[in-house]
Structure 1
Amino acid sequence: MTVDHLLGKELGKGAFRADEEPVLRIAPGTGERIGFQTSDAWYAQLHELQALDRVTEQVNPVTGPVYVEGAEPGDTLTVTVHDIVLGEHGWSVYLPAVGALQRRMGGEPMTRRVPLEDGFAQLTETISVPVAPMIGCIGTAPAEGSASTVMPSYAGGGNMDLTDCAPGTTVHLPIEVDGALLSLGDIHAVMARGESSFVAIEAAGTAVVTIDLLKARPLRAPRLETSGEWLFVGLGDPVQESIARGYEDMFDFLVKDHGWSPADAYVVMSAAAHSELGGPTGSEQPDPLHPMRPVGAVTVHRLPKSVLA
């Protein structure tokens, strides 16, 4: 792994904030590679102590922020993921009263150290799956206040837990503050889409990215570009609103950015645009009596690039 700048995991923080002092300043479009080192200390400590109330490490820290020269509100930050280097093991954990399986898993935490070797994650003694490293949490700073690295996801990004946020993907993020203030963390060795347990196979690692800037290209939510698809992120409560907003952004992309007629966009999306749940990290502030219960949902809406050819 070759990088021009390496940001250590000791720079990890528990929120995206506009008042954070940047740890690096960089000009966009230079091709300089930035390595963001991330931590798994929270999971390791929970595994050791087996008690949530004794864990003192920061949960879901993001490394950064990086100040991008010339970035202003109304621009779009493009972050291309080139590589994700994993450590030697990951973690699977169950947190009581968290995730879709809480009624089946009961009231005690569960942790499992998952070896990562030769490109595979050893889930059980007999079952292994290929690793598929991804970035769970990535975003720019909100204009005011702070945005959690756990939930909810917000206009600038956050803990979206999208499996496509992986090497080869370019992530497009709205910018609300001068310099954008990019941070990322929460690397996963592998995660099933939808993230049933609220955690994946979490792992320490280093994500290597380059940064560019699209001037005067406002977005209301993140979107991702892979080799074969555009992915539009929907944020809203209830989930039907999230789905509608994601589809609206795709529709506007076709009509406003590509000059399609509304009728053509409607018909093609009806036939070729697929929708799915992203991570269960919510898209609105959770119920304060149940701070780990997501409200709303992150949704993902997939447009094949082949329709644009």
Structure 2
Amino acid sequence: MSWLESSFMARRGVAGGKPGTTHELTMEKQGKYHYVYGPYVDPVLHIQPGDIVVAETHDAFEGKLKTEQDKPSEKLNMPFGNPQNGPIHVAGVVKGDVIAVHIHDIAPRGPQPVGTTVLMHGFGGLVATNNTAMLHDPLPEMVRKMTVDRSGIQFNEKIKLPYEPFLGTLGVSPEIEAVSAVQPDYWGGNMDLPDMAPGAVAYFPVHHEGGYVYLGDCHATQGDGELAGAAIEMPATVTIQIDLIKNWPIKWPRLENEEFIMAIGSTRPMEDAARIAYCELIDWMVKDYGFDKLEAYLLLTQAGRVRLGNMVDPKYTLGASIKKSIIG
């Protein structure tokens, strides 16, 4: 039996984890890509719980960095980063529900070299930014283009990295805000969390009728923290399955895969993001696994794990997890 049959999506979802109709969300059908998560645009697609969406995503730069001679400061117009597919309206979804997204596949799309990473002014974990003011000059700008396919990523002549794709941005609309797609928070967004990978199921608390699912910013691989501010960004063909869960109140995004469950927090400072994630994970263990709160607290002290998504965005993202084999 596949672990998916015992997932929260399969056990609690309206569609029971069973696939429905497949919808193509090509670049042409998407039309205008969006740079904010919010409720103020019309849905580009209406689906039923269980339906599958195959979406053509842009890279984080909307394809504007075409050569290694391009300068991000000349080609990009920040904060217009992370163009998003969507929003996708899911029938029957209301505030207080949960949207479940099973990530089926992420494939590189377009002519090679399809991968791009950069150093850019005012962005990164080890440089001066708008939030961390310094007097020193910015580092030089740099663009690197790389061949990416399922066999790996040609980082340079000597180094080939494994292909470990994931969705940098995934989430639902806030209730009244329209918020930059560069920022993560309780709706998901730009979490840059490598566990948002094929095979995983992500869960998001709904704040707007229909959910309004957004996705984009695919990465071919990324180290913990996305240190310089850009992973190996790539346009992609993304296949996801979306379901609806009723009567399962959660406050922050969650994720599960075959090995573990994870709660996700995004804020600054970084330790408060970890606190959000661990508090949400304890709540999950109490309500769905029968733990006493203090017993869960003690257990996570010994067996909890933290994944650093990003340490470069307006808010940092951390995921707190525990192996399913431990909690049963």
Q: TM-score, normalised by structure 1?
A: 0.88
Pick aligned residue for 1:80 from 87, 102, 111: 102
Alignment-mate amino acid for residue 15 of structure 1: V
Q: Which runs of 5+ in 2 are unaligned?
A: 1-20, 129-135
The one-letter amino acid of 1:45's match is K
- 1:46 maps to 2:65: yes
Residue in 1 that maps onto 2:235: 204
Contact in 2 for aligned 1:150/1:281 (Cα 8 Å): no
255-264 or 219-228, larger mean C-alpha shift: 255-264
Alignment partners' CA distance in 2, 1:307 and 1:118: 32
Residue number among 185, 195, 218 corresponding to 1:154 in the alignment:
185
Contact 2:225–2:310 (Cα < 8 Å) also in 1:
yes
Contact 1:90 1:189 in 2 (8 A): yes
Give matches, 1:283-302, under 5 Å: 294=314, 296-302=315-321
Structure 2 vs 1, CA of residues 100 and 281 (structure 1 numbering), >3 Å: closer, same or farther? closer
Q: Give the corresponding residue for 2:23.
A: 5
Report deviation, 1:188. 0.5
User: 1:55 and 2:76 equivalent?
Assistant: yes
> What pairs with 1:220-235 in structure 2 (closer than 5 Å)?
220-235=251-266
What is the CA-CA distance between 1:220 and the residue it aligns to?
Answer: 1.3
**The 10-residue stretch of structure 1 (262-271 or 69-78) with the greater mean CA deviation from structure 2:** 262-271
C-alpha distance in 2, partners of 1:79/1:105? 42
Q: C-alpha displacement at 1:267, in angstroms?
A: 2.4
> Residue 92 of structure 2 aligns to a residue in which SS?
coil
Note if contact 1:11-1:64 (Cα within 8 Å) is conserved in structure 2.
no
SS in 2 for 1:85: strand
For 2:206, which of 175, 180, 186 is the aligned residue?
A: 175
SS in 1 for 2:300: helix
Instruction: Please give the alpha-carbon distance, in whole angstroms, between the structure 1 residues aligned to 2:201 and 2:32.
Output: 24
Task: After TM superposition, list the pairs within 5 Å mapping 1:1-309 onto structure 2.
Answer: 4-9=22-27, 10-29=31-50, 32-40=51-59, 42=61, 44-48=63-67, 49-55=70-76, 58-87=80-109, 88=112, 89-102=114-127, 106-117=138-149, 119-151=151-183, 153-282=184-313, 294=314, 296-309=315-328
Question: Partner of 2:61: helix, strand, or coil?
Answer: helix
Distance 2:44 2:322 in 1: 36
Q: 1:278 to 1:40 in 2, by over 3 A?
A: closer
Letter of the structure 1 residue corresponding to residue 45 of structure 2: L
Report % sequence identity.
30
- Across the aligned residues of Structure 1 and Structure 2, the Cα RMSD in angstroms comes to 2.1
- Tell me: CA distance 1:44–1:241, structure 2 relative to 1, closer, same or farther (3 Å): same
Cα deviation, 1:22-73, whole Å, max 9, x if unaligned, reads 11111103xx321121113836423444252443695210101110011111
Separation of aligned partners in 1, 2:150 and 2:244: 36
Asked if the contact 2:62–2:83 (Cα under 8 Å) also holds between the matched residues in 1, the reply is no
Moved more, 3-12 or 238-247: 3-12
* Post-superposition offset of 1:74: 0.7
Cα distance change, pair 28–269 in 1 and its aligned pair in 2 (3 A): same
Gaps of 5+ in 1: 283-293
Q: Tell me the distance in 1 between the aligned counterparts of 2:220 and 2:137.
A: 23
Change (3 A) 1:60 1:236: closer
State the secondary structure of the residue aligned to 2:230. Answer: coil
Tell me if the contact between 1:95 and 1:109 (Cα under 8 Å) persists in the aligned partners: yes
Query: More deviation in 262-271 or 211-220?
Result: 262-271
CA apart distance, 1:183: 0.9
Q: Secondary structure at the match of 1:135?
A: strand
Task: Kindly indicate whether the alpha-carbon contact (under 8 Å) linking 2:148 and 2:154 is maintained by their aligned counterparts in 1.
Answer: yes
Q: Give the distance between the partners of 1:51 and 1:298, measured in 2 at CA.
A: 25
In structure 2, give the amino acid aligned to 1:306: S
- In the comparison of the two structures, how many residue pairs are matched? 292
CA distance in 1, matches of 2:123, 2:66: 17
Distance in 2 of aligned mates of 1:154 and 1:116: 30
1:257 positional shift: 2.5
Distance 1:300 1:51, change over 3 A: closer
